[in-house]
Amino acid sequence: MPIVVRIDVELAKRKMSVGEFAERVGLTPANVAVLKNGRAKAVRFSTLEAMCRVLDCQPGDLLEWIEEETP
């Protein structure tokens, strides 16, 4: 998938645990894991807004587009 989620990078910068992040955003730790591992098919804007608010960052800090190589 060409969209990479960089939540782990932002959490590490802030020395914040997944559990604390999940609680502050209003997600379960399992749903945070789904996002971190790139298994999510969609993210609600309200969830993205909450993540940015908690991490004091921009959406582009959490999501990155990487072009897929064609064989």
- Give start and end residues of each alpha helix (H) in 1-71: 7-14, 18-25, 29-36, 45-55, 59-62
- Assigned domain for 33 exists: yes
pTM: 0.87
- Assigned domain for 71 exists: no
- Assigned domain for 46 exists: yes
8 A C-beta contact, residue 70 and residue 6? no
To which H or E segment does residue 4 belong? Answer: strand 3-5
**What is the DSSP secondary-structure string of 57-71?**
--HHHHEEE-PPPP-
Which domain CATH number covers 57? 1.10.260.40
The string of pLDDT tens digits covering residues 22-60 is 999 999 999 999 999 889 999 999 999 999 999 999 999
Closest CA to 18 of 3, 2, 34: 34
